Structure 1
Amino acid sequence: MAEDVRLGTARGRWVLLATVLGSSMALLDSTVVNVALPTIGRDLDAELAGLQWTVNAYLVTLAGLILVGGALGDRYGRRRVFVLGVVWFAAGSLLCGLAPSIGVLVAARALQGIGGALLTPGSLALIQASLHRDDRARAVGLWSGFGGVGAAVGPFLGGWLVDGPGWRWVFLINVPVAALCAAVSVRHVPESRDPAAHGRFDVLGAALGAVSLALLTYALIEAAQATAAVVVAGAAGLASAVAFWWVERRRPNAMLPPDIFASRQFTAVNLVTLCVYAAFGGFFFLSVLQLQVVVGYSALGAGAALLPTTVLMLLFSSRAGALGERIGPRLPLTVGPLLCAAGMLLMVRTGPGASYVQDVLPAMLTLGLGMVTLVAPLTATVLASVDPGRAGLASGINNAAARAAGLIAVAALPLLAGMGPEAYRSATAFDAAFGRAMAWCAGLLVVGAVTAWTTVRTAPEHRCHPECRVHGSVAVPPLESPRDGDAG
C-alpha cells in the first residue's frame, strides 16, 4: 500500500498534476487526430482506408489491452506501469510525428495505443492508491474536471496545430508533456501495488481480443475489394473472437470474467453502450471530414465547430447524473440516444455553403443535449449493476466496449455508406455518402434507445455512485477506479 498523501500538501498537488498530465495526453490524442485527418491524407497521399487505420490502429491496441494495463499496475507497481506507459506513448508519438508514410504512421499509432493502455487506467488508480481517503473524492473530481477541460480544448488545439506548425505537431507536442509527466511521477508519486494480486495475468486473452479486433477491422475496411485475404481475415477474426470468449470462460485469472455478465442490467447497459458509442465513433470520424472537405472549413474551424457538445457535457453532466439518480436510468438512456440521433440527422444539412449558426450549431447543440442526458446515467447504471468491489472492472469493461464499438464503426461506416477509396477528395461524393452514414448512425442510436427502454430496470442492484461526475470526452464513457469495498 502507498502512503496516504494529503491533497493540500505540495506532494499531493504533484500527484494530481502527474495523473492529469498523463490522462489528458491520451485523451487529447483520441480527439485531436480526427481534425488532422484530411491534411494527413493529402500530405502522405493516403486513401480513405489509410485515414481509417490512422484512427483504428490506436483503438485496436488501446481497447484490446486497457484491462490488462490496470492489472499490470496492480501487480507490478502502479507508478512503474504508469511511467512505462507515458514513456511508451511518447515514443509512439515521436514516431507518428516523424512518419514518412501512412504505413509507418499506422504502425506508430498502434504503439501509441499500447502506451495509452498502460497509462490510462493507472492515472486514476494512482490517485486512489496515493491520496488520503478523505481527499480522494475531491481529487478524483479535480482529475475528472481537468480531463473534461482537456477534452474541450482538444479539437480546438488540434485545429490550431494543423493550420499552424503542421499536423505532425499534433503528435510531437506529446513528447515534452510526457517528459514532464514522467519526471514528476518518478520524483513525487509514491509506488503502490495490490498485495492480493498474483503475478499471473491473462496474456492469451488479451492477445486474442486484440487480434480479433485487428482482423475484423481489416476485413471491414478492405471489404469492398472482396479478395481472398479479406475473407480469410474476416473468418480468422470471428474465430479469434470465439476463441477469446472460450478462453475467458475457463481461465481463473480472466481479463474479462464472464460471470460479471450474470447481471442482466450490466449486460443490457453494455449493449446500449455498443450501439451509442458506435454511432459516436462514426460521427466524429466523418463529421470533421465533412466540415473540411464539403463545407470548406479549416482544421481550426472544424475543431471549434465540435466544441458545443463537449462544453454542454462539462457544464451539465453532474446535474444529469443527479437527475438520473432521482428518476432512474431507463428514461435518460432512452431519451438521450434519440436526441443524439436527431442531432446527427440535422448534420445532413451541412452541405456546401452551410451556415454554422443555422446548420452546424443546431446539430451540435442537439447532439450535446443528448450526450448530457445519456452519458452520466449510463456510467452510474454500469457501476450500480455489479457488486461495489467490482466497480473498477465493470467500468473498464464498459470503457473498452465503447472503444471497440467506435473502432468497428470507423471501419464499417464508410463501407455501408458507399465511400470509395478517394471519397474524401471529392466534396460531391463525400457529401452524398455522409448523408447515408448519418442515417446509419441515427439507426444505431434508435436501436440503443429501444434496447434501453426494453431491458434497463429503474431500480439499481447496488448503490455505487460515479466519482467522475464531470466528464467532457465524447469518445468514451468515463473510466472509474476500483472501490475500497462498500458503495460510496
Structure 2
Amino acid sequence: MDQHIKQWPALWALVIGFFMILVDTTIVSIAYPVLLRELDTDLTTVIWVTSAYLLAYAVPLLITGRLGDRFGPKRIYLVGLVVFTLASLWCGLSGSIGMLIAARAVQGLGAALMTPQTMAVITRIFPPDKRGAAMGLWGAVAGIATLVGPVLGGVLVDSAGWQWIFFVNVPIGVIAFVVAWRLVPNLETRVHRFDWLGVALSGVGLFLLVFGIQEGETFEWGTIAGPITVWGLIIAGLVVLTAFVVWQRFNRAEPLLPLGLFLDRNFSLSNAAISLVGIAVTSTPLPLAFFFQIARGLEPTQAALMLVPTAVVSGILAPLVGRLSDRVNPKWIALSSLITAALAIAWYASLLSLETPLWLLLLPSAVLGVGMAGIWAPLASTVTRNLPTSQAGAGSGVYNTTRQIGSVLGSAAIAALMNARLALELPGFDTESAQQAGADVAGPLPPEVGDGFAAAMSQSLWLALGAYVICAVVVLCFAKPKVTVAWGETGAGERTSPLPASSK
C-alpha cells in the first residue's frame, strides 16, 4: 500500500456518490401513490420502477468488481457516475411509466459500475487492522442512505414534484465526479478474463425469478401466455441460477463467482445475512407509505416525516458502531441490532390502524433506527476482514451482489404480498381503487375501507420481520473473527490469532 495515499479524503469522495445511489434504492417508495395517479398505472407496474433499478443494479455487480481490478476502480467509478447522473436526468424527463422504468434500468447499470469500487478501494488502501473504522463509515452511509431516501422523496414530491427525486441527482453527481477525480487515487490494475456466460446465466435466472414473483398476483399465479405459467417462470429462474453456480464450479479459467471465497465461514454467512437485510430494508417503506398516504390521508412530506426518527437515530449511532468493529466481536453488535429491528417492525405492525395516534407511530420508527445503526458496519467489516488484495474486486462484487439480490427479491415479494393481502382483506378493492381513493378522499379512508386497508399493510410488514429474524439466526452462527496483520508484514489479509478474550 502506498503510504502517501490520503485514505480518508479518498473514502469521503467515494461516499458522496455511494450515498446518492443508495438513496435512489428507496427514494421512490414514498412517491408510489403519486406515480400511480400521475402516470395512470397500477401497483404491480409501478413497483417495476424500483425492481428494474435493483435488477439492473444486481446482475452486473459480479463483473463490475472485476472491471475495477482490470481498469482501475477510480476509472470505472467515474464512468458509472456519468451513466447514473445522465440516467437520473432521463428519469425526471420521463412522461410515461414505461419510459421511467427503462431510465431506471440504465440508472441501475450506472450504480452497478460504482458500488464495488467503493469497497474495493477501502480494502486496498486501508490495512486490515484499520479497516473497521473505514467500513464503519461505509456501513453508516449504506444504512442512513436507505432510510433517508423516503424522507427526502416526500419533501421533494410535495415541494417540487416527483420528477425532482431524480433531478436532484444531477448537481450532486457533478460534485461527486469532481471530488472523486481529485481525491481518489489511481490504484494498481490486474489482468482479468471475463466470464460472459456467467453474466448471461445470472441475469436471465434473476429476471425470470423476479418477474415470476412480482407478477404472480397479476396473473393469479396461473397462466401468463400459452404454456408459460408464473410457477414455470419461477422454477426456470431457479434452474438457470443453479446452472450458473455449476458453471462457476467447473469454469477453470476465471469464474465470475469465486466459490473458493465461500470456504471462509464468515464470508459465506455475511453474504447470506446482507441479502436478508436487503429484503427487509426494501420491503419496509412501501406498506408504510401506502398506510400513511392512503389509509391516513397524509401528504407525501407528512408521511416522510413519520420516518424521520429512524434516519436521525441511525445517523447518530452508526458512526459509533464502526469504531467498535475493530475492538469487539461484530457478531454481537449485529445480532443485538437485528433483534432490535425485528422488535421495531413487530411493534409497527401492531400499531397500523386508523385509530392509532400518529405520534405513537414515531416510537417504533425511532427503535428501528437503533437497530439499523448496528447492522451495516459489522456485516461489512466481517465479510472483508480476511480478503487478500487480489480478491478485493471479486469479494466486494459478491457482497454487493448478494445485498442487491436481496433488495430486488424484497421489492418483488412485497408487491406480491401487498396485492395478496389487499385481495383478502378488501375483496374488489384493488390498487386502482387505492389510487382513486388517494386522489379523491381528503383525510383518512372511511372505516369500512380503511380498517381492511390498514390490516393489509400491517400484515405486509411481516415480510421484513421474518427477514430480520432469519438474519439474526445467520449472524448467531458467525465464527470468532481473526486478527489480521498490517500489509507488508506477513501478507495482506493473512490470518493470525483470534481476537483477545475481551472481544469475544
Q: Which bin holds the TM-score, normalised by the shorter protein?
A: 0.7 to 0.9
- Aligned equivalents of 1:321, 1:176: Cα separation in 2: 29
Identity of aligned residues (%): 31
1:155-166 paired onto structure 2 within 5 Å: 155-166=150-161
Q: Which one of 356, 359, 374 corresponds to residue 357 of structure 1?
A: 359
Pair 1:318–1:184, CA change in 2 (3 A) = closer
Pair 1:240–1:275, CA change in 2 (3 A) = same
2:478 partner amino acid: V
Give yes or no for contact 2:51–2:408 (8 Å, CA) kept in 1: yes
Gaps of 5+ in 2: 424-429, 438-444, 497-504
1:227 partner amino acid: T
Structure 2 residue 248 is matched with structure 1 residue 227:
no
Q: Which one of 79, 89, 109 corresponds to residue 94 of structure 1?
A: 89
Shift of 1:391: 5.7
DSSP 3-state at the match of 2:284: helix
Aligned twin of 1:445: 468
Aligned twin of 1:204: 197
- Aligned equivalents of 1:487, 1:302: Cα separation in 2: 48
DSSP 3-state at the match of 1:60: helix
Pair 1:206–1:352, CA change in 2 (3 A) = same
1:168 partner amino acid: Q
Give yes or no for contact 1:89–1:115 (8 Å, CA) kept in 2: yes
Give yes or no for contact 1:88–1:115 (8 Å, CA) kept in 2: yes
1:135-284 paired onto structure 2 within 5 Å: 153-183=148-178, 185=180, 188=182, 192-195=186-189, 197-224=190-217, 225=219, 226-228=222-224, 229=228, 230-251=230-251, 252-284=253-285
1:221 partner amino acid: Q
Give yes or no for contact 1:58–1:112 (8 Å, CA) kept in 2: yes
Shift of 1:183: 4.7
Give yes or no for contact 1:85–1:116 (8 Å, CA) kept in 2: yes
Q: Which one of 428, 438, 456 corresponds to residue 478 of structure 2?
A: 456
Give yes or no for contact 2:282–2:411 (8 Å, CA) kept in 1: yes
- Aligned equivalents of 1:240, 1:115: Cα separation in 2: 25
Aligned twin of 2:426: none
DSSP 3-state at the match of 2:254: coil
Give yes or no for contact 1:19–1:127 (8 Å, CA) kept in 2: no
Give yes or no for contact 2:309–2:365 (8 Å, CA) kept in 1: yes
DSSP 3-state at the match of 1:46: coil
1:26-425 paired onto structure 2 within 5 Å: 26-123=21-118, 125=120, 153-183=148-178, 185=180, 188=182, 192-195=186-189, 197-224=190-217, 225=219, 226-228=222-224, 229=228, 230-251=230-251, 252-321=253-322, 328-348=329-349, 349-352=351-354, 354-358=356-360, 360-384=361-385, 390=391, 393-417=394-418, 418=420, 419=422, 422=431, 424-425=434-435
Give yes or no for contact 2:120–2:393 (8 Å, CA) kept in 1: no
Give yes or no for contact 2:28–2:165 (8 Å, CA) kept in 1: yes
Query: 1:61-118, CA deviations, whole angstroms, 9 ceiling, x for partnerless residues?
Result: 1111123222212212333322221121122212211222211111111110000011
- Aligned equivalents of 2:376, 2:16: Cα separation in 1: 24
Moved more, 429-438 or 155-164: 429-438
- Aligned equivalents of 2:174, 2:214: Cα separation in 1: 35
Gaps of 5+ in 1: 466-482
TM-score normalized by the length of structure 1: 0.82
- Aligned equivalents of 2:470, 2:135: Cα separation in 1: 33
Give yes or no for contact 1:296–1:352 (8 Å, CA) kept in 2: no
Give yes or no for contact 1:309–1:365 (8 Å, CA) kept in 2: yes
TM-score normalized by the length of structure 2: 0.80
Aligned twin of 2:500: none
Give yes or no for contact 1:389–1:485 (8 Å, CA) kept in 2: no
Pair 1:146–1:54, CA change in 2 (3 A) = closer
Q: How many residues align?
A: 461
